[in-house]
Amino acid sequence: MEKSMAEMQREVDRYISQFKEGYFSPLSMMARMSEEVGELAREVNHQFGEKPKKPDEVDNSIEMELGDILFIAICFANSLGIDLAEAHDKVMLKFNTRDADRWTKINTD
Domain ranges of the chain: 5-98
At residue 99, the pLDDT reads 82
**pLDDT tens, position by position, 21-35:** 999 999 999 999 999
Hey, which CATH number is domain 5-98, 2.40.50.140, 1.10.287.1080, 1.20.120.450, 3.20.20.100? 1.10.287.1080
H/E/C letters for each residue in the chain? Answer: CCCCHHHHHHHHHHHHHCCCCCCCCHHHHHHHHHHHHHHHHHHHHHHHCCCCCCCCCCCCCHHHHHHHHHHHHHHHHHHCCCCHHHHHHHHHHHHHHHCCCCCCCCCCC
**pLDDT tens, position by position, 96-109:** 888 878 888 887 66
**pLDDT tens, position by position, 38-90:** 999 999 998 898 887 887 877 778 999 999 999 999 999 999 999 999 999 99
